[in-house]
Structure 1
């Protein structure tokens, strides 16, 4: 019986060609942009580290979005509180004018109407919504916004902190609305003592809002520092991830050329062996 010629061909050459082809395909994929650790088996340790980095990057993206919202709310709150401070200073001036004793009979009413207009502006400022549709000065506990790992911030005070329990004369407290209404009434119909009491109440309101503005300054500094930290962390994580997963294209091209040369040589050798006949083996 005649044996097959293939039996005498070099099976190791065939295996070598297959292996070289697989290695070439891998290098071509790296040159084309495929990750060095597309599969866990490529480098289990590096693959695990990249997976952890990706998870942390996802967290940082969420923190960055929260940070943007907190910055917006903080800026809006600061602007509104500045509006209230300016309005309180103007109301104080109007009250002092009303207590000067040199007004015409119609002047107190004009001054009181201006105070009431300022109070209306206060209500508009306190009831506005942020850019995301939520109440800027919400009711209930202040909203704590996560801005980094284990770190939260209150971007804007709640309504109670702005307008409730403001100290007035005699150790009592009142709301901002009540203080403004009482000031308008003191200008219209009050005496010197009434206006003196309202001056004290306005000073209490100014102290309250000024304290809140100081807190907003601290919040703004915190947000700025946190953004800087997140930006730096993003760069560090992206650099480490690239170091672990990105292919060295120059190195991959060099290896690809070497593998192609080896494959061509192997094919040439295999071609010569394949051309031999059974009689060549029997000589």
Structure 2
């Protein structure tokens, strides 16, 4: 086959164009830190990257859900802890009022304090977090305990669970059953204690045993939310491990090895200079050069 001058020039220009393309690829990798900048660069890497990134996005969303669950549980646990302390104080006052050594004025003073503690418990029942009542099930826009003009309480409590998806296919209840902490019988017992102290007729009553029964229910609910909180922490630790693994796999799939890219770019630059030097010798001769 006869090799002409135009063939040599065309091949030289094509090779120079390929060299520019390779240099551009390495420069893009060096600038972005990624192996590919478009799916056509490597479809396999691009498809794997879509799956890995989806996995990482799911983990990040579950972590945001965890923050919501932490907010609900910590606020609920703090509220129940406060009610526990207040109930213990009411029990102390009840025992003090039943010892038979108090004057009628002293009993009324104890009744006043218990009345204030009762209203404090009602305030805890109406705790709001981000504008939502956390002790009213799914009816987060309705106040569970309303104080009437005569000082009595009206209860409108919802016991539906609020579940948050904290992992793939795993939902965790984040609220408590308000009827086990702020039920009507509890407030009726507190009202009976207050009325008994005002009237001075506490002897022989079973109010102390009733109060202890409510205290046991409150403690049981606190233990339950504590157990769920421990499980939430374990799920959180597992999600953190999954996030680290997913980030590492995504990095291994898409991130460029900078040292190798720099080395390849340096080699390609040397090849390109050599191609330019050779191309200048091939393309330089013209018909006038042969006629000289």
Report the TM range for the smaller structure's normalisation. 0.7 to 0.9
TM-score by length of 1: 0.88
- Deviation of 1:44 (Å): 2.4
SS at structure 2 position matched to 1:175: helix
Instruction: Point out where structure 1 has 5 or more consecutive residues left out of the alignment.
Output: 165-173
In structure 2, the residue matched to 1:134 is 132
Q: Is the 8 A contact 2:26 2:261 kept in 1?
A: yes
Structure 1, residues 13-60: CA drift from partner, whole Å, max 9, x if none?
111110110010000011112421332233323222211121122222
In structure 2, the residue matched to 1:187 is 197
Q: Does 1:263 align with 2:262?
A: no
- What CA RMSD, in Å, does the superposition of the two structures yield over aligned residues? 2.0
TM-score by length of 2: 0.85
Bigger CA drift: 249-258 or 6-15?
Answer: 6-15
SS at structure 1 position matched to 2:131: coil
Q: 1: CA distance between counterparts of 2:68 and 2:289? A: 82
In structure 1, the residue matched to 2:187 is 177
Write out aligned runs for 1:16-55 (5 A).
16-55=15-54
Q: Does 1:147 align with 2:166?
A: yes
- Deviation of 1:271 (Å): 0.6
Instruction: Point out where structure 2 has 5 or more consecutive residues left out of the alignment.
Output: 138-157
Q: Is the 8 A contact 2:49 2:253 kept in 1?
A: yes
Q: Which residue of 241, 252, 255 maps to 2:261?
A: 252
Q: 1: CA distance between counterparts of 2:163 and 2:37? A: 39
Q: Is the 8 A contact 1:144 1:153 kept in 2?
A: yes
In structure 2, the residue matched to 1:214 is 223
In structure 2, the residue matched to 1:67 is 66
In structure 1, the residue matched to 2:152 is none
Q: 1: CA distance between counterparts of 2:181 and 2:37? A: 55
Q: 2: CA distance between counterparts of 1:87 and 1:161? A: 16
Structure 1, residues 185-212: CA drift from partner, whole Å, max 9, x if none?
1222234222xx2112101110111001
Q: 2: CA distance between counterparts of 1:41 and 1:72? A: 45
